[in-house]
Chains A and B, each alone.
Chain A
């Protein structure tokens, strides 16, 4: 933390392909739910912010190698991951959901349990694990390259249905004509999302947890989430 203040700059690693948490708006500016929260953090610290955007592959090395002070993405704090990085307290809960094509033959999540159903997930994302657990008989296909690719795969028929984070699915599917996709109402799981930093920065971790408490209390977190995640208000502005 001292270093950050001395440097006068907070370096944050974000993922490029993850609306509504992180995206490039039509003006080419980086924004999104997590991004705005990070900006708030920097503001509270009284330092400038510097975003480093990476593909999923680059996020973790960026944090581990010290290129970034913290990692702000829609990342689930699994115990295996927590062996390597220090997660904050969860700032929101989400879950994986199942979606299919609007006019598809799958009506409920249980339909997908049929053996051989092709299910699109993102490589390494929690959706992948949930899908494997929920649909053991299905044919799981893990893609790389972000949520929109899943939507495309389902839309084009390469997969029967997709499993991904609910807010991501909601956020991304609106770019398609209404009714293209059916999003199942029931979640496969409830998952926390958290920010991450390194274990050798315990003071930063404490500070971030405190920050999350503060914004929860004063409503700024809720405001953020309502704008970005729980509604589609942001689409109008960006």
Chain B
């Protein structure tokens, strides 16, 4: 497959890859915003003291985490119409990715909040702040810093997961490769190009992570033997 690897054909398909890349990026951005929203709401529920609020959030997170995205996607795409809700594929895809990633985001944010030293919370309580003021002024700004790196890892996962949307006819990056593979019977060209584009996105996100780490003044590694 490699000996007559055809860069020329890849060139021919480049516009298609370009469109796919744009769709993937756009899709990921919107889905990740959705995931943050879902995650924060879930996490807020999960940190409540009242059980009736906490339990459903916990159950949701567990179910999402223990079933494959494919199954969740299938359910949204073919299940919603049974309830009379027909949404465009792009919307269903974004919804599925947001709902799925949201569960992971919720866990990340929760870990971030719980990592804030107890003394910080006590200092805020002692100065007469209400629960919401403590959250807004003291806990969340500090938790934000801790959650940025794992959130970016989750973003990387989401970008790659978005490939699954080719299943329900969203024309994203992976699909461009599949087209090249099945129209021209050039699988190596198709899939390696796709991989290169994903790798590009990965390094972009990693760059953002490194920058934000420096900007937030995260301390470097320690404790090596």
Chain A residues within 8 Å of B, Cβ to Cβ? 56-57, 60-61, 64-65, 78, 80-81, 83-85, 120, 123-124, 141-145, 149, 152, 156-158
Contacts and interface: CB of A to CB of B under 8 A. Distances in A.
Contacts of A158: 77, 81, 86, 89
A143 B175 CA distance: 10
A124 B185 contact: no
Chain A interface, >50% SS class = mixed
Chain B interface residue count: which class?
20 to 34
B169 A141 contact: yes
Which residue, A57, A65, A83, has most C-beta atoms of chain B within 10 A? A57
Contacts of B171: 142
Contacts, number: 69
Interface in B1-41: 1
12 contacts: A57-B187, A60-B181, A61-B187, A64-B187, A78-B183, A80-B184, A123-B175, A141-B169, A143-B169, A144-B166, A144-B178, A152-B78
B210 interface: no
B167 A145 contact: yes
Given A123-B175, A123-B179, A158-B81, A61 B188 contact: yes
Nearest 8 pairs between A and B by C-beta?
A: A124-B182, A84-B185, A141-B169, A156-B81, A61-B187, A64-B1, A144-B167, A81-B185
Contacts of A120: 169
B178 A85 contact: no
B215 to A, nearest CB: 40
